[in-house]
Structure 1
Amino acid sequence: MTKIASVSLAQPLETIADELGRSFSENGFAVIRDHGIPQDLIDEAEAVSKAFFALPDAVKRAYKIEGGGGARGYTPFGTEKAKDAEVFDLKEFWHVGRDLPEGHPLERFMAPNVWPTEVEGFRETLSALFTAFEVAGGRVLEAIALHLGRPRDFFADSVAEGNSVMRLLHYPPLAEGAPEGAIRAAGHEDINTITLLLGAEEAGLELLTKDGTWHAVDVPAGALVINVGDMLQRQTNGRLRSTTHRVVNPRGDAARRARYSMPFFLHFRPDFMIEALPECVDASDSTPPLPPISAHDYLMQRLREINLA
């Protein structure tokens, strides 16, 4: 039986750390309630997201940054595909990243944001949501650190000024003539440290269990879905799992509705070296830990695999 933890982030972290750790070890996923992101901010972000995606295609495409790997601005429908997939996902999206001051030592890793002038309040709303996601993500990482037996601020330096990205996702209503086998998001693992997802209440999100079956993720209204990314899996030598997941096509009336969601991909600093933690390495394990790699090099390697770089 797949048991995904559902915990309140308003509780003392010491009381939820091991339940989160168990869920991340077994399933790679957990549900977080009372995450601290104000509902009115979420509602405003959803409104500006819908307003942007409702713009004419030519207007949206003016914000596509050629050669940018989709890191900022607009990525059109039919661009991204899962690793090893033969058809593209049925989605379009917008990326907001970290704003760095000119001359910052990490600016070569993080391009400036672009902002559509056609949608009032877009920049202000999404900048505020980016910050709120970071705060909530930091709390989750503190709980993970406690589960690993580390000080609660263990991850703070490694994610400070990290190359985190917030994505506004639009899955249009399903159309006749879509490529055979195409779904809204084919099975994939996330590249980053942890992902925080808003807007998963509508059915469709599924994770692949250890026994090879797909399991629907049931999400209470307003809650965050958290999943482990490949970077954290690598750092914990597989103790915390980066689980394959997908968004399947709905049926009936839901197939004629658009779906919107907002994942926040929390990343390490680009210059952080990802290497297995000693406490996660078992000397009796026949598979040695993977060699150290910088977060930036790992990101570039993976972006090439999904057709974004």
Structure 2
Amino acid sequence: MKKVPTLDIRRYDTDRAAFVAELGNAYREYGFCCISGHGIPRELIDGAYESFQQFFALPAETKMKYNVPGSGGARGYTPYKVETAKDSKYADLKEFWHIGREIARDSKFADVMPPNIWPSEIKDFQKNGYGLFEALDQLGSRVLRALALHIDLPEHFFDDKIDQGNSILRPIHYPPITEDNVPNVRAGAHEDINFITLLVGASAEGLEVLTREGEWLPITTEGDAIVVNIGDMLQRLTNHVYPSTSHRVVNPQNENSRKPRYSVPYFLHPNPDVVLDPLPQTVTADNPSRYDTSITSHEYLLERLREIKLI
């Protein structure tokens, strides 16, 4: 039976060539890999989850104080049934919060990366939320170093292309399903927009990835593993060597559908001015360039946010 592999990232320092080869092969095959041995403290992850659950338990009118109309949900709170998977008839059954990168307000990217909003009702929300943002940002940059080596780029190729990235930590609450014939999966089949996504807390069942053979493969993690998948921007930059794979969140066919589900993906984005043209290393006779127009990551992001009805 096929299974998305789990690889220990500590092997990057002890067994680099083999680790890079296995990681690269996992991404070429699935667009997904589970990463263990990352060293993010359990207390930080648990503390962040606790803060997020406390926020989602607040009354709707309190949460709506943190909704910023017209912002595409870039920061703060987005209520249920707003985001809609591309080409889906139904809105997703979820509410979520966005934490973005803290940048200097005189940065050239300040107009596209607004300051964060923090809910005053939850004591450690900012400390836990931004602590997890930074930890996942650092882990993501380590994964990208290995991915760079796999396609014959310098190890640190991505470092200066993500240091001001418009990245997002998105705590999500999927409410318990109370009706028997709900049309929606909790989150419709979609690909991610960004470079890579790191998902903390895929221990709850429901996440499924579409294999090359067209079958839905469930992913659940064990221990400290974090699910890391390729997004459309990296797929474009690597001329589809690293595929961005369709995935969805389905309702479990058991009593767990009656329980709320929480997950916290971190969407690692390149800096807004990075041009997403296929890299020469990924263009070959067997894999000619699939794109003949240039686009920056920010232009690409806006295009996609319109498609999923966030702007």
TM-score range, shorter chain: over 0.9
What amino acid sits opposite 1:5 in the alignment?
A: P
Question: Which residue, out of 37, 41, 45, partners 2:40?
Answer: 37
Residue 285 and residue 43 in structure 1: after superposition, are their counterparts in 2 closer, same or farther (change >3 A)? closer
Aligned to 1:15: 18
Question: C-alpha distance in 1, partners of 2:90/2:99?
Answer: 26
Q: Are the aligned partners of 1:189 and 1:242 in contact in 2 as well (CA < 8 Å)?
A: yes
Tell me the secondary structure at the aligned position of residue 161 of structure 1: coil
Alignment size in residue pairs: 308
Q: Report the RMSD for the aligned CA atoms in angstroms.
A: 1.4
SS for the counterpart of 1:78 is: coil
Which amino acid letter does the alignment assign opposite residue 8 of structure 2?
S
Q: CA deviation at 1:286?
A: 6.4
Q: Which residue of 74, 77, 84 maps to 1:74?
A: 77
Q: Which one of 188, 191, 196 corresponds to residue 189 of structure 1?
A: 191
Q: Could you tell me the TM-score, scaled by structure 1's length? A: 0.96
Match of 1:223 among 225, 232, 257: 225
Q: What residue is the counterpart of 2:93 in the other structure?
A: 90
Q: Residue in 1 aligned with 2:118?
A: 115
Once the two structures are overlaid, the 10-residue window that deviates more, 287-296 or 75-84, is 287-296
Q: Does 1:308 align with 2:304?
A: no
Instruction: Decide whether aligned partners of structure 1 residues 209 and 184 sit closer, same or farther in structure 2, where only a CA change above 3 A counts.
Output: same
AA matched with 2:282: C
Amino acid at match of 2:33: A
Q: What 5-or-longer segments of structure 2 have no aligned partner?
A: none
Distance in 2, Cα, partners of 1:278 & 1:286: 10
* Whole-angstrom distance in 2 between the partners of 1:92 and 1:136: 26
Superposed CA deviations along residues 102-129 of structure 1, whole A, max 9, x for unmatched, are 2111101101110100001111111111
CA contact (8 A) 2:145 2:156 kept: yes
Tell whether the 8 Å contact from 1:3 to 1:23 is kept in structure 2 after alignment. no
Q: TM-score, normalised by structure 2?
A: 0.96
Q: Output one character per residue of 1:1-29: Cα deviation in whole Å (capped at 9) or x when no partner.
A: 53422111111243311111111111100
Tell me which of 102, 106, 109 is aligned to 1:103: 106
C-alpha distance in structure 1 between counterparts of 2:226 and 2:19, whole Å? 15
Classify 1:50/1:14 alpha carbon distance in 2 versus 1 (closer, same or farther; 3 Å). Answer: same
Shift of the 17–290 alpha-carbon distance from structure 1 to 2, 3 Å rule, reads farther
In 2, Cα distance between equivalents of 1:58 and 1:187: 30
For 2:2, the equivalent position in structure 1 comes to 2
Please list the CA deviations of residues 193-245 of structure 1 after superposition, one character each: whole Å capped at 9, or x if unmatched. 00000010111100011111111113113210000000000001011010000
Deviates more, 1:5-14 or 1:102-111: 5-14
Instruction: Classify the secondary structure of the residue corresponding to 1:293.
Output: coil
Percent identity, please.
45
Aligned match of 1:144:
147
Q: Tell me which of 154, 158, 161 is aligned to 1:158.
A: 161
Q: Alpha-carbon deviation of 1:284?
A: 4.9
The runs of 4+ residues in structure 1 deviating greater than 4 Å are 284-287
CA distance in 1, matches of 2:217, 2:33: 13
Q: Give secondary structure in 1 for the equivalent of 2:189.
A: strand
Relative distance call for 1:42 and 1:278 in structure 2 (3 A) is same
Report the CA distance between 1:290 and its aligned residue. 4.4
Given that residues 281 and 289 in structure 1 are in contact (C-alpha distance below 8 angstroms), is that contact kept between their aligned partners in structure 2? no
Correspondence for 1:247: 249
Structure 1: tracts of 5 or more residues without a match: none
